[in-house]
Amino acid sequence: MKKRITGIGGIFFKVKDPAKTKDWYAQHLGLGTDGYGSTFEWRSSVNPNQKGFTQWSPMRDDTVYFKPSEKEFMINYRVENLIELVEELKAEGVTILDEIEETEYGKFVHIMDPDGHSLELWEPVDEVYDKLVIGRTKS
């Protein structure tokens, strides 16, 4: 396997009022937001013609999306070849929290780190994700 993590795919964190938080960041820090938060677009250093994305998402403080973790945040990591990576992680004794979910914009799975953080692994299909994103923060 060539690479495991290739970048940060997203940062998800708990707040009391996601809409209020998104509005504050839009007003005071200039984030372009939508129902999910904001997407930061960037270019690959290896292939500058290739776009990549990092999602910023405030979520309700009662979200169950991070379960079984009770932590206040979850990081999404971009990976290559998620199916192969999950098999390697299983062999290494890493806790895999769910089955690989496949969507039009990529494959996802959740794992647990040794400190009790749920981590999301994402093998993106950036070309499709690019067409779906509304709230963007551009540099």
pLDDT for res 132:
92
CATH 3.30.56.10, domain 5-137, yes or no: no
Alpha carbon 2 to its chain's center: 21
Region class of 106: left (phi > 0), else alpha (psi between -120 and 50), else beta:
left
The mean-pLDDT minimum among 20-24, 98-102, 135-139 falls in 135-139
Q: Is 47 left (phi over 0), alpha (psi -120 to 50) or beta?
A: beta
> What pLDDT digit, counting tens, does each position of 29-38 carry?
999 999 999 9
Average the pLDDT over 77-92 and give the result.
Answer: 97
Owner of token pair 């960037």? 42
List the domain boundaries for the chain. 5-137
Name the residue among 53, 39, 47 with its Cα closest to residue 124: 53
Q: What is the pLDDT of residue 124?
A: 97
